[in-house]
Every structure is written in structure tokens, then in C-alpha cells.
Structure 1
Amino acid sequence: MQRVCLALPTMRPCPGTIVDLAEEAAYAVATFGVEVHLLVLDTTDDADFAKNADAVASLTPTPGVVVHHLGNARQREFLRRVSERAGGADPELLLELMLPPAVAYGSCVNRLFLGAAALGCTSAHLRNDDFDYQVVDGEKMFPIHHELLSIGRPAGEVAADVSRSELDPADAEKPVMLVSGSFIGELNVDIGEILELDPAVYREIVRLWTPPVWPDEDRDAMVDVSFKGAGHEAFDTDDSVVGVPDIWDVYMCNIALDHRAYEVLPLLPSTDTIGSDYALLHALVHSRLPGVIHNRHIVNYYTPERRIGAGFVNYQLRFVKFLLSMLYLYPVYGGMIDLGRGMLDEKHGLKVEPILGLVRGSVDWDRTGNEHCLDVLDRCYRQLGGKYTELADVVAGKREQLLDEARADAERWAVLVGAWAGMVAAARAEGLDGAAEDGAAAVDGAAE
């Protein structure tokens, strides 16, 4: 029986999301006959962990659905075993890269990838803790419907099960390693208030993340589509297409990935940096592997803590670090575009060696561009005034630290990419070993 991982990282109480995901898991079992491991990696404090654990305990057992709820202690125990078994030169560094003390979007997804490997899953289906499903005639539009129709299958076979095909016949034997929808609702980066306050300042700030080597008209066009997903395109009827996806059509919180993708390339372990979880998607798209794009978009919404006080400053600093990270990522992405199908082996799988070469080559990039980025941000934030003036002061006080951290993040990613194959093998060998016992036992409607 095919075993898949429906995965949720969370750093906040989200009992409603856990209940929703259990429904999606049950739908997958009933519709596709798979075994679903619902893996919740929870880094909340004790009180909020208990709320999530109560939600897990209240789930109705469903045959074929196994729920694993892991808190900090059990995640650390699992990752320590993996790091030590992987044979890397510095297991403590690997452990820090996987479970740092700060918010790390790439690291939390990397933990899900290792968890999926430990569980013997063939695919990972990623969601987040601040979304809703679209509902039509009382039914939730679960993305896993399209994901399990296609993930891992030869693209030529998938063409019969999608709405339309844009597949190159030469790619018919290649596996579908990516199935994704997008999102509707609020911007997936919480900067909409800047747009409301001053559209010109918004455009100048967003332009900072566009590739500086592009012509002005292309950079402006990128600003127009950035962070908007599918806009407000409400679901009507299922639509899906197989072919080489456009990077703008994929969304990391509404995606299924084949194990032959995430077991090769980990995401950036950058701390306090949004957007650090997209490098693998670039590798899949730029290597011209076929994927499926569908319209079961999730509904994005914001949690209130990122709008006021320290929560506002902390979130906006993550956006600043995202802008600075692009100095080191764009050389990698550009190299991926140049390599194209050269990133694939004879079995159409990703090769890590050429990608690792690109990552290592980006580390010593001249940081003049990032100094300019911080200069522009300082001017723009002060022009906005109010709480953005406070933000400008915080960024200015951390200027050298931010510049240094952006480079260090690139260096640490290179370390993790080089160690990843050993860590995946170690995770498979170790298994999770009942790690769901810290606060909530694994819930299984069928015999394990």
C-alpha cells in the first residue's frame, strides 16, 4: 500500500487546522486507498502544545490514518540520532541547522522531509497553520485530490487524468515530482499595509527582491505579480494541467513533492527569514521536470500577532532578511536555469553535485547589493513613518549583523546540502520510534 505524509509544521496553537487536516487525510484514504501519516511538528510552548495535543486526542480514529504529534523534545531526540548516524563531521552543527532556537521556515520543512523518510513515505504533502480550504456546496476542496492523482507517476500516464496537457512528448516517461496549487486571499507576505499607505513605496520595496540584472520592464512586471498567488479566483470546477510548471504557479504551503526530490535537496536553514523554503521548487522547475498545477487553491490569512508591537517588528525583519537572501539565491537560481536538464541523472532524478557547486559558488558574492538594499529600505520605512520609523531604527541597529547573517546562511546551506544524503539515509534507518508520545500518542485507526 502506498504510504504518504500529510505534513504540518506549526509554532502556534492550531487545533482547527489539525482537525481539518485529519479530514483531508481521511478523504485521501477513502478516495485513493493509501495509508496517510499525518505528521505535526510542533514547536510551541507547553501550554499551546497542550491545545494541539487535545485536538489530536479528540480525533476520531480512521483506518489508514496515523497521526504523529511531535514536540520539541522528541524532534530533538530524533534529529540527534539522525545527525550522529549520518556520519557528518559536526553532528551538533547539523542538529542546530535542523532545529535552531529561532523561527526557520526552511528548517521546519526539512524536518518534515526527514520525518517522511523515517516513516517510509513516497511523497510529502505540505500545508501550513494559517490557511483554510475553499468550500463548495458544503464540501472542502482538498488539494490532496489532485496530488494523489499524479505524484510520482510517469507524466505520460498522468496526462489522461488532468484537464489538459502541455507535456512535451519527450518528457512522457519522466515522473511527476511536483503537484501544486496556489492561494487566494491576502498576500502571502504581510506587506499589504505598505501598499495601502503608499503604493509607490510598496513598489520600490518589492522591486528590491527582483533580479537586478533583469531589464526594468521585467522587474516591474515581477512586482505586479509578486506575493499575490491566484488573487481572489474562487474555485468553480476542477482544472489541472501537466507540463513544466511556471515557478509563479507553485506555492510551498499547497504542494506535494515526490521523495526523489526532497531526499536530494534540502531547503535553506536560514533563521528568521521568510521565503527560505523555495529552492527545491526552483530546482524542479528549472530542470524542466514535468509537474501538475491545479486550482484547488487554499485560502491564506494572517495571524494577528504579526501586525502590532514586537510581533510586527519581528515579522518585518524576516522580510528584510528575505530580501537580503536573494543576493545569494539568484546566482544559484540563474545557474539552475543554465544547467536545465543537466541537473538530472539518467533516471530523471535530481543530481545534487551540480546544485551543491552552485550553492558553494554563491557564498563569496559581493555584498554591495545588500548594502544598497538596506539603504533603500531605511529611506522607504522612514518615508512611511509611524511604526515603520521604529522598524527603520531596528534595522539600522542590526545592519552589520543582518549583512553577516545573510552570508552565513548561504554557507550553512552548503553544509546541509553536502550532508543531506547521509541524513536521509540515517532517518530511514532510525525511524521515528514512537516519537509521537511526547504529549499525544500516535493515533491510528488501523493496526500499526
Structure 2
Amino acid sequence: MRRVCLTLPTDRACAATIAAVHGEAAYAARNFEVEVHLLVLDSADRPTREAHAAALRALPPVPNVLLHHLDEAAQREFLREVVEQAGPAEPDRLLDLMLPDRASYGACTNRAFLIAKALGCESVHRRDSDSRYQLLDGVPVYPVRHELASLGRPAGEASGQVTETALDPALAHRPVAMVAASFVGELSVDIGEVQQLDPEVYQDLVSLWAPVDWSAEQKRELVAESFRGAGTEPFRRDHALLTVVDPMRVDMCNISFHQVQELVPLPPATETIGSDYFLIHLVHDAVLPGVLHNRHIVNYYTAERRTDAGFAAYQLRLVKFFLSMLYFNAVYARMAEAGPALLDAGDRVRPEAIAGFLRESAALDRAENEWRLRRLDHCYRSLGGRYAAFADQLAAAGPRLLAEAQRDIEDFALLTDAWGALMRAAATAGTAATTAATATTPGPRRQLERSST
């Protein structure tokens, strides 16, 4: 029986989401020959973690569903052992990149990748705490239905599990590396108010993530489809397309990976939205088969984003995303140019090629990002109110943010170099540090193997 990891990283109260994702795990175990490891990586405060632990204890036992709830202390112990066993040149720096003291969408998912490897899982399926499942006739619509039907199979076999195929037959031997969908509901990036206040400023702001040499028309097209997911159309019937998946059509709240996540990590950048999207681009540019389905998840905004502190924190993460694009646009261009050359003879991604592109981009002149900061300042000030107040914060933080954006890409290169060794160490970890005590798993390694039955 194959093992799969269904993971929910969180830093906020989400007991209801935990119960809902457990429902998806139970559905997977009932309908497929799999052992599902439900992994909750918890970075919330202590009272919230305790509430999550209570929610997990209250879940009904399900055959072949195993529960794992790791707080940051438990995660750190596991990572420390893995880093020590891997023996990298800069162990302390790598440990900080895996578990930074600031929020990192990429780092939390990287931890899930390593823990899944330690658990013997061959695929990772990620959900988010600020999303929920659609319903059809009152029944949740679970994405795992399409994920387990195709993920990891040779594309030629997976073609029998989908509605439609738009894949070069020459790729039939390659395994399906990613199965994913998107979301419906609110924009994935909290800038709807900007669009309401001034559509022209919205156009200027969102277009800052495009390559600077794109035409005005290309930028308009990008803005028109950015952050909207699958719109608002509710689920009515299944559709799954076997193809090389367009990165603009999927979201990390509704995604699964096979093999590729063991070869290349996600960027560990802190306080940066979109830092977890790199593998979506890599799967596409390496021409790896994927399945795009329509079991979209519902996205919603938590109350914290509406506070003044939450607003400023979120806008800063958006700014850092725009600054990261100086480097990532260059890397994406190099990956697109390389195409299938990103793969070795066994159709596996070559991490050394990716690390090389990352280092090349880290040497780029910062002038483009200095221009981005000026445009951002203009956009925020023109909106007035709290946006203008944020512009004052941005002006003071500008030099630091420019340096951080460059350092983030250098850190990503370092982590990519070490990722293979970290994965091998995770696979053989097997000690108490792997599963340090948490509220719902109170003992050493056998706790992560504890069934909910």
C-alpha cells in the first residue's frame, strides 16, 4: 500500500479546516489503496495549538489514516537531526532557512516535503488553512480524487483517468509530476480594494510582476488573469485534463506533487507571498506531465488581514513578491529556454541546473528593483489613507528590502544545492527527533506511525 502525505501548514486558528481536511483523508483511504498521513504543521500560538490538538483528538478513527501534529519545537528537532546527518557546509544557515523566525510559505512547505519523505510517503498533497471545500448536493468536493487517480503514473496510463488529453504522445512515458486545480471566491492576493479605489493604479501595481520588457498589451493580459483563480463558477461536474499545466491555472492551496519535490525545494524567502509557487513553473518548463482538474477550493480572507497590522504586513509581503520577480523572471526565462534539458536521462529534474540559474540571477543589477520601489511608492501614495501611510513605511524599508530580495535568491540556491542530501537524511532519520512530542503524538518515532484506528 502506497503512503501519501496530506499536509496542512498553519499559523492561525483553523480547527474547522483540520476536521474538513481529515474528511478528505478519510475519503482518500476509503476510495484508494493508500495509507494517508495527515500532517498538520503548526506555527500558531500556544492556545491555538492546544485547540488544534483537541480538534485532532476529537476526530473519529479511520482505517489507514494516521495523524501527525507537529509544533515548531518538534519540527526544529526533526530538522536539526536531518541537517546534522546531511552534513552541509553551513548547517546553521540551512536550519534557519528551513525554519525561519518569520513567516515563509516556501519554508513551511519544504518542511512538509522532508517530513513526508521521513514517513515514506511518495507524494505530497497541500491544502491551506484559509480555504474550504466546495459542496455538490451537500457533499464536499475533494481534490484528492483526481490527485490519487493520476499522480505518479506514466502519462500514458493516466490518460485513462482523465476527461481529456492535450499532451504530446512522446511524453507518455514520463510520470505525472503534478495534479492541481485552483480556487474560487476572493482574490488570492488581498488587493481587491485597490481595484475598487482606482482601476488604473491596480493595473500599474499588478503589472509590476511582469518582465519589464513585456509590451503594454502583455501586461494588461497578465493583470486581467492574475490572482483570480477559477473565478466564481461553482463545481457542477468533473473535468480533468492531462497536459503540461499552465502555472496561471493552479494554486498552492490545491496541489499535489510526485518526485519533483524531492529534487528541488521551494524558495525559503520570508514575508513574501508567492514564495511557494516555484515548482509549478518548474514542472511546466521541464515539460513534465500534469493533470489540471476543476475541483477548485474556496478561498476566503481571515479577519486578521482586515486589521491595520494585518494590512501593513500583507502589503509588505506583496512588495517583496514584486521585488523577487527581478530574479525569478530571469530564472523562468532560463528554464523555459532549457525546456527538456532540465531533465536527466531518467526524466528527473537536474537540481544543479536550477541552482546555476538562481546564482546567475542573483548577480543582476538592482536598478530594475529600484524602479519597482519608485512605482510602488507612487501607487500607494496615490491611493491615500492607509496606503499612503504604508508608503512611508516602504520608503524607510526600501534599502533593506532590496538587499533581502537578493539574499533570498542566494539562499534558495544554497538550499537547492543541499536538498538532495537533506532528502536522503530525512529518509533515514528514524529517531526521536523525527517525531518529537506534541499534544496529539506524545512519543518518539512510533507516534508519527500511530494510526487513528
- TM-score normalised by length of structure 1: 0.98
Q: CA RMSD in A?
A: 1.0
Give the C-alpha shift of residue 138 in structure 1: 1.2
Give the C-alpha shift of residue 92 in structure 1: 0.9
Structure 2: which amino acid aligns with 1:309? D
Alignment-derived partner of residue 444 in structure 2: none
Task: Decide which moves more: 435-444 or 29-38.
Answer: 435-444
Structure 2: which amino acid aligns with 1:349? R
SS in 2 for 1:430: coil
Cα separation, 1, equivalents of 2:185 and 2:371 = 32
* Correspondence 1:36-435 to 2 at 5 A: 36-258=36-258, 260-431=259-430, 433=432, 435=435
Cα separation, 1, equivalents of 2:354 and 2:376 = 31
Picking from 439, 444, 447, the partner of 2:451 is 444
SS in 2 for 1:358: helix
SS in 1 for 2:63: coil
Contact 1:2–1:122, Cα closer than 8 Å, also in 2: yes
Structure 1: which amino acid aligns with 2:372? C
Give the C-alpha shift of residue 349 in structure 1: 1.2
Structure 1: which amino acid aligns with 2:302? T
Task: Decide which moves more: 140-149 or 431-440.
Answer: 431-440
Give the C-alpha shift of residue 436 in structure 1: 6.1
Contact 1:119–1:432, Cα closer than 8 Å, also in 2: no
Structure 2: which amino acid aligns with 1:328? Y
Q: Deviations over 1:245-270 (max 9, x none)?
A: 11111211101100x20011111110
Counterparts in 2 of 1:47 and 1:243: CA distance versus 1, 3 Å: same
Identity of aligned residues (%): 49
Cα separation, 1, equivalents of 2:281 and 2:430 = 29
Contact 2:77–2:436, Cα closer than 8 Å, also in 1: no
SS in 2 for 1:174: coil
Cα separation, 1, equivalents of 2:395 and 2:452 = 54
Counterparts in 2 of 1:54 and 1:253: CA distance versus 1, 3 Å: same
Give the C-alpha shift of residue 432 in structure 1: 6.8
Structure 2: which amino acid aligns with 1:337? A
Contact 1:68–1:436, Cα closer than 8 Å, also in 2: no
Contact 2:34–2:64, Cα closer than 8 Å, also in 1: yes
Give the C-alpha shift of residue 431 in structure 1: 3.5
Cα separation, 1, equivalents of 2:46 and 2:281 = 37
Q: Deviations over 1:76-125 (max 9, x none)?
A: 10000011111101111111000000001100000000011110101000
Counterparts in 2 of 1:236 and 1:95: CA distance versus 1, 3 Å: same
Contact 2:268–2:275, Cα closer than 8 Å, also in 1: yes
Structure 2: which amino acid aligns with 1:24? E
Cα separation, 2, equivalents of 1:192 and 1:331 = 28
Residue segments in structure 2 that go unaligned for 5+ positions in a row: 442-446
Give the C-alpha shift of residue 167 in structure 1: 1.7
Cα separation, 2, equivalents of 1:76 and 1:243 = 38
* Correspondence 1:9-28 to 2 at 5 A: 9-28=9-28
Cα separation, 2, equivalents of 1:141 and 1:398 = 43
Give the C-alpha shift of residue 445 in structure 1: 3.0
SS in 2 for 1:398: helix
Structure 1: which amino acid aligns with 2:346? K
Structure 1: which amino acid aligns with 2:288? L
Cα separation, 2, equivalents of 1:310 and 1:196 = 21
SS in 2 for 1:35: strand
Contact 1:69–1:436, Cα closer than 8 Å, also in 2: no
Q: Deviations over 1:204-263 (max 9, x none)?
A: 0001111112222111100110000101121010000101111111211101100x2001
Runs of 4+ in structure 1 deviating by more than 3 angstroms, as ranges, are 431-434
Cα separation, 2, equivalents of 1:302 and 1:121 = 31
SS in 2 for 1:40: strand
Cα separation, 2, equivalents of 1:395 and 1:45 = 28
Number of equivalences: 445
Cα separation, 1, equivalents of 2:99 and 2:121 = 22
SS in 1 for 2:428: helix
Cα separation, 1, equivalents of 2:431 and 2:165 = 39
SS in 1 for 2:253: coil
Give the C-alpha shift of residue 33 in structure 1: 2.1
Contact 1:126–1:252, Cα closer than 8 Å, also in 2: yes
Cα separation, 2, equivalents of 1:398 and 1:170 = 50
Cα separation, 2, equivalents of 1:291 and 1:280 = 12
